[in-house]
Amino acid sequence: MRKLPQNFKYLLWSYDFSKIEPDRDQERIIINTINYGNWEHWKWIVKYYGKQKIKGIIREIPASEFRKRALKLISLILGIKEMKYATRGIKIRAEKNLS
């Protein structure tokens, strides 16, 4: 099992960092990295997950999960032209209905 580099710990401050797994928790890692990470964090996720995987995950996450400026920048960098514009509340309700 691969671990995240220690410099990701502050990006995931509300989670038990010792239990985070890059493959299982990829959505949370990508969201937090885009919102709060620096260039070194961004380079790591691109190297680890690949641009296509990140683009696919970003397209499926409601835009409201991201800080506006961070989303604009990552969209420009990765060439993402369309996003889901559901609110976070809609996503949470949908997840609860699936459980």
The residue extents of the domains of the chain are: 21-98
Mean of the per-residue pLDDT values for the chain?
85
Binning pLDDT at 50, 70 and 90, where does residue 23 land?
A: very high
pTM of the model: 0.78
* Residue type present at position 58: I
Give the whole-angstrom CA distance, residue 94 versus residue 87: 11
- Percent of the chain scored above 70 by pLDDT? 82
User: pLDDT tens across 37-79, in order?
Assistant: 999 999 999 999 999 999 988 888 888 888 988 888 888 888 8
- Beta strand ranges found along the chain (DSSP E): none
Nearest-10 crossing angle of helices 26-36, 68-78: 110
| Cβ count within 10 A of residue 32 | 21
* Residue type present at position 28: R
CB 27 within 8 A of CB 35: no
According to the per-residue pLDDT averaged within each range, which of 28-37, 72-81, 85-94 is highest? 28-37
